[in-house]
Amino acid sequence: MIPARRVYIETYGCQMNVADSELMFGLLGREGYVRTEQPAEADVLLVNTCAVRDNAEQRVIGRVGELQRHKRAGGVLGVVGCMAQRLGPKLLEQVPRVDLVVGPDGYRNLAQLIDIAASGQRVADTEFRAWEHYEDVPPVREKGPTAFITVQRGCDYRCTFCIVPQTRGPERSRRLADVVGEVERLAGQGTSEVTLLGQTVNSYHDGEHDFADLLSAVGRVNGVRRVRFTSPYPTDFTPRVVEAMAITDAVCEHVHLPVQSGSNVVLRRMLRRYTRQRYLEVVAALRAAIPGITFSTDIIVGFPGETEAQFEETLSLVAEADFDDAYTFKYSLRDGTPAVRLPGHVADEVGSERLARLIDTVRRNARRKSLARVGEMHEVLVERRAKRGELMLARTRTNHLVLVDLPAQTVGEYHRVRLTGTTGSTFIGTVVTPALAVL
Ligand code: 5AD
């Protein structure tokens, strides 16, 4: 018998890439591949990549250089995902040791393409297949209490900074019944928290059902205790969706809601479809409907033409929206995006300086909010052992991380904890027994 070929996949970028890697393990598993965590043992090495910022791509180039040491005779080193899609065959020219380049719509052919590459012919597949949602491919996940579920692929929005429409193609939603089926299978195996994924996930529509229907249907699945989703688009929070969130108990009290900028002028140049005021209205509507809800966001500084005064509007928005957390980025010019044609390049040092000020503002706001939370009681889901020490890492419904002194076998359990301290972002908590909780 020929020994099974071993595949190693290293994943960069967003949660959808994590889900896509699970899909690739599913696809390759059907072809007899087995997974390995050790690049030195692998016959096939794949790097699943991100293209949203230049530094993400540079990191991958560096990593591919390191991984090529592990490539054995007849082995294959491939770059897949968004960077593969963006650069296509050019990547084969630029990086001589790469044998295989496959974009997010090409994974169905992965095994075949690997065979071609293994025979010595370097290949690229970056065709868009607007129908492809890999419905028939069961992803291979690490068994655990939480799971990512892709419900929508691609993007029809045209934010001028963003490369994703060029790397992931047009928007398409999976059928509600198919998503629910997958959630039921996961719940049957003990997964109680699901995160629904899409580029603009709340614009989900399968032709018959919208995102409100999807939330209610997933929230009704037996065994599902928590539903999260990422990332929504501000103006796709229709009253129906807000209502569904409010009445579906499983939907968690946290929304990651990318704002990108606090300046209307910048938002318009980014082709975001809302103003600062409209964004704040959406936040207020969600706060009114869902008590205790928390918000995180994505923010870009140094977008072409951004003035100091416009940047300061972003700083003031952080305070006004009162975010619990924010992912902050310095604008990175991406070839192929509309923003390359915009005038008003912001010097790198100016961008770095704004980023530092923004991070400081975000941290101070988060710290103030975290300190005020000490003493609160929360339900947490124990996810895994913390990196250091003996404590377990658990998460509140509001998406705060809590270190708790519990035994390792509590992974997957729900406990009530009192928050007793904070580093400013993470919390320390003590388990409160139900009897004590009554007192
Ligand atoms: N430069 C910097 N940040 C970007 N993002 C997307 N494109 C760019 C870019 N060209 C950020 C946005 C998005 C997040 C995933 O990455 O904030 O929400």
Residue-wise pLDDT tens digits, 265-321: 999 999 999 999 999 999 999 999 999 999 999 999 999 999 999 999 999 999 999
The pLDDT value given to residue 438: 44
For ligand 1, the distance from its centroid to the CA atom of residue 104, given in whole angstroms, is 19
- pLDDT tens-place string over residues 44-66: 999 999 999 999 999 999 999 99
By three-state DSSP, how is residue 59 classified?
A: helix
Q: Is the CB of 229 under 6 A from ligand 1?
A: no
CB atoms within 10 A of CB 112: 12
Cα separation, 299 vs 355, in Å, equals 9
The pLDDT value given to residue 75: 94
Q: Note if the bond before 231 is cis, omega within 30 degrees.
A: yes
- pLDDT tens-place string over residues 194-228: 999 999 999 999 999 999 999 999 999 999 999 99
Q: What is the mean pLDDT of residues 157-178?
A: 97
Give DSSP secondary structure letters for 283-330. HHHHHHHSTT-EEEEEEEES-TT--HHHHHHHHHHHHHHT-SEEEEEE
By three-state DSSP, how is residue 422 classified?
A: strand
Beta-carbon contacts of 302 under 8 Å, excluding residues fewer than 6 positions away, are 330, 331, 346, 350, 351, 354, 355
Q: Give the chain's mean pLDDT.
A: 96
- pLDDT tens-place string over residues 308-323: 999 999 999 999 999 9
Pocket test for ligand 1, best of 15, 16, 52, 82 (most atoms within 8 A of CB): 52
- What does each C-alpha distance from 4 to 27, 28, 36, 42, 83 come to in angstroms? 14, 11, 11, 11, 29
- pLDDT tens-place string over residues 373-428: 999 999 999 999 998 889 999 999 999 999 999 999 999 999 999 999 999 999 99
- What does each C-alpha distance from 413 to 145, 196, 342, 396, 408 come to in angstroms? 8, 21, 51, 12, 11
b vs e for 254-290, b when ≥16 Cβ sit within 10 Å of the residue's Cβ?
bbbbbbbbbbbebbebbebebebeebbebbeebbebb
For ligand 1, the distance from its centroid to the CA atom of residue 329, given in whole angstroms, is 7
For ligand 1, the distance from its centroid to the CA atom of residue 359, given in whole angstroms, is 16
pLDDT level of residue 439 (50, 70, 90 thresholds): very low
Decide if pLDDT at 86 tops 80: yes
Residue ranges with strand state E in 90-163: 100-102, 123-125, 146-150, 152-153
For ligand 1, the distance from its centroid to the CA atom of residue 331, given in whole angstroms, is 7
Domains of the chain, each with CATH number or no CATH: 6-125 (3.40.50.12160), 146-373 (3.80.30.20), 377-438 (2.40.50.140)
The pLDDT value given to residue 414: 97
Give the β-pairing of 123-125 and 76-81. Answer: unpaired
Q: Which atom of ligand 1 is nearest to the CA of 299?
A: 17
The pLDDT value given to residue 1: 59
- What does each C-alpha distance from 105 to 86, 378, 405 come to in angstroms? 12, 41, 44
Q: What's the distance, CA 394 to chain centroid?
A: 19
Q: What is the mean pLDDT of residues 176-185?
A: 98
Q: Which residue has the tokens 């087995």?
A: 34
Beta-carbon contacts of 90 under 8 Å, excluding residues fewer than 6 positions away, are none
By three-state DSSP, how is residue 125 classified?
A: strand
Q: What is the pTM of this model?
A: 0.97
Decide if pLDDT at 434 tops 70: no
Q: What percentage of the chain reaches a pLDDT higher than 90?
A: 95
Query: Within 13 A of 366's CA, how many CA atoms are on the CB side?
Result: 21
By three-state DSSP, how is residue 80 classified?
A: strand
Q: Which residue has the tokens 């890492």?
A: 393
Q: What is the mean pLDDT of residues 321-348?
A: 97
Beta-carbon contacts of 86 under 8 Å, excluding residues fewer than 6 positions away, are 51, 163, 166, 167, 336
pLDDT level of residue 437 (50, 70, 90 thresholds): very low
Q: What percentage of the chain reaches a pLDDT higher than 70?
A: 98
Cα separation, 403 vs 386, in Å, equals 7
The pLDDT value given to residue 12: 97
By three-state DSSP, how is residue 101 classified?
A: strand
Residue ranges with strand state E in 59-139: 76-81, 100-102, 123-125
Pocket test for ligand 1, best of 162, 201, 330, 355 (most atoms within 8 A of CB): 162
Decide if pLDDT at 3 tops 90: no
The pLDDT value given to residue 73: 87
